[in-house]
A and B are shown apart, each in its own frame.
Chain A
Amino acid sequence: MLMADAPEVHLVFDRPESLTDVDTHYCPGCSHGIAHRLVAEVIDELEIRERTIGVAPVGCAVFAYNYFNVDFAEAAHGRAPAMATGLKRVHPEAVVFTYQGDGDLASIGIAEALHAAARGEHLTTIFINNAIYGMTGGQMAPTSLPGQRTTSSPCGRDVETMGMPLRMSELLATLPGVAYSVRRSLHNPKNILQAKKAIKRAFEIQIEERGFSFVELLSTCPTNWGLTPSESMTWVEQRLIPFYPLGDYKVI
């Protein structure tokens, strides 16, 4: 048993300064919360909290501004990269990141995302790929897997009529303005640690002004997948990762 005044008591786990002391609204087993924590830890470690500006999406992470203890703006659906461009161009010394879901970034906002990347904006984008529209109740996303049942593809995604899913990390890696494009997963501690390293590298690349940096995180949505939290982690491993291979698609 530890004594309160024992000198060997060390604090080993605490809330990062870059997270507010607020309960999130995310469902149990949702990895949005993990992604938030990783981003906040990186901001703390790089000591950039006082010059970071975040841009929230429309999607389940719409209230990200309540959870990060940094300046924040909440964009319209898909427009975060354009809004972030405006912020960064006015404050080039700030570290500006967007946090976007797959509907937000890869569907309605794909033009804004691709063009911010193509311009080589010194921005960092954290892209949460959970293969579904979480906030609106589980409709098909541009990243939903072939055959995946969603409320708007009740018989499974038919790629003949609905097309094939988009692999954003690979797509962005083809653009000269992109300095860093990688895919990681949040389904177990090992992968979470690797995801954190990638997020840190992405922010560093922005600080070094090398170009657009992009981290795709394979994420869970137990609520709309109709799975338990632990089944969801397995689904990421067995279904998502084979279609969305983890790896570095561009690192300069």
Chain B
Amino acid sequence: MPTELIKGNTAIAEAALRAGLDAYFGYPITPQTELLEHLARRMPELGRVFLQAESEIGAIHMVYGAACAGARTMTSSSSPGVSLMAEGLSYIAASDVPMVLVDVMRGGPGLGNIAPAQMDYFQIVKGGGHGGYHPIVLAPATVQEAIDLTYAAFDLAEHYRTIVVILTDGCLAQMMEPAELPPMRERGSPISKAWALSGAKGRERRVFTSVHMSPEEGEAFVNKCARQWDVITANERRCVSEQIDDAEWLLVGFGTAGRVAQSAMRAARAAGLKVGVWRPISLSPYPTPELKALAPQLRGCLVVEMNTGQMVEDVRLAFDGRVPVSFFGRSGGVVPLPEEVLEAVHRMIETAKEVVC
């Protein structure tokens, strides 16, 4: 496939389509709208389902229906819209059906603004809907990675019958970068799925429900999900690092903040500082063992986020006090500059020296 200049939103939409997306339901919201618009054109062209729902609530419950029908299905939105989807996400998680959600985060809380932010890490990674379920959450940092992760997301969702979230932000979604799109996949038939609803023709009827009336039944279901999550945690952790071999100082960031951290790392290296960068791609399950393994060589770690400190809690948990962890964040839609991150690196190193003296 040739490399082309492609916008994040369009790239994600096209990758989903090529991964065999059968049915898309969504509602317009900036900075995600091009994703919906691309599918509005492409899905009907290919004889597939595209529907603009009456709201994000409508969209997520249409996805729920389509998922129960055995379709490869997806929706996309941005922070305020994803809040409305919380109910449906919880029901979907409780019904063991696969789906993909693309969340293009913007500045919040409230209506906030349409600038890039990472303020919904807690919402997506730790919460979302009620009931303590875990989605798989993948955070790309380049348009190419967004394509590759979206393409893989549907297989992951179906393999584990779970929710997969592509968690990105307005920066990556609106940015154009050279990238290569994957080939068009053959689509499977929704009816061929051994669990899907299609009408009980020549078989026992099938039922999807999220009701577990007795507490014991409820607990058995939750425990089953927890065991499944252990398997996912063991198999699906993803992260990348750069300049890590001799690093004494570590920069950590995900998505766009991870890229800013990478630029800051390069500037620090040019200034002769032994700085490396580590970027989790799966935010859930978090690559805790991989991060923990770096502890012995590190004198300090700086977490960079486009919020006031959310993922930093997971970094602290991973290091468990073995590495001093500091934080630098910009929020509300402000993207940090590599220079400010570099200054924060210098401050981290100065502070460490003071502690030693």
Contacts and interface: CB of A to CB of B under 8 A. Distances in A.
A62 interface: yes
Instruction: From A49, A51, A53, A71, name the one whose CB has the most chain B CB atoms within 10 angstroms.
Output: A71
Nearest to B69: A90
A79 interface: yes
Interface stretch (A80-88, A182-190, A208-216, A242-250): A80-88
Nearest to A51: B199
A50 interface: yes
A135 interface: no
Interface in A46-72: 49-53, 55-56, 62-63, 65, 68-72
Contacts, number: 136
A112 interface: yes
A172 to B, nearest CB: 15
Interface stretch (B108-116, B173-181, B202-210): B202-210
A50 B53 CA distance: 29
B62 A74 contact: no
Contacts of A88: 65
A175 interface: no
Contacts of B58: 79, 82, 85, 111-112, 115
A91 interface: yes
Instruction: From B25, B65, B91, B206, name the one whose CB has the most chain A CB atoms within 10 angstroms.
Output: B65
Interface residues of B, number: 41
B14 interface: no
B65 A69 contact: no
Contacts of A49: 200
Given A71-B197, A89-B51, A79 B61 contact: yes
Given A50-B202, A76-B88, A91-B198, A83 B61 contact: yes
B199 A86 contact: no
A85 to B, nearest CB: 5
A85 B190 CA distance: 16
B61 A75 contact: yes
What size tier do the contact residues of chain A reach? 35 or more
Contacts of B59: 82
B201 A85 contact: no
B295 interface: no
A95 B51 CA distance: 19
B265 interface: no
Interface of A: 49-53, 55-56, 62-63, 65, 68-76, 79, 82-91, 94-95, 111-112, 114-115
29 contacts: A50-B201, A51-B199, A53-B69, A53-B198, A63-B211, A65-B207, A69-B205, A70-B200, A71-B198, A74-B211, A76-B61, A76-B87, A76-B91, A82-B53, A82-B64, A86-B23, A86-B68, A89-B62, A90-B70, A90-B71, A91-B199, A94-B199, A111-B55, A111-B57, A112-B57, A112-B61, A114-B54, A115-B53, A115-B54
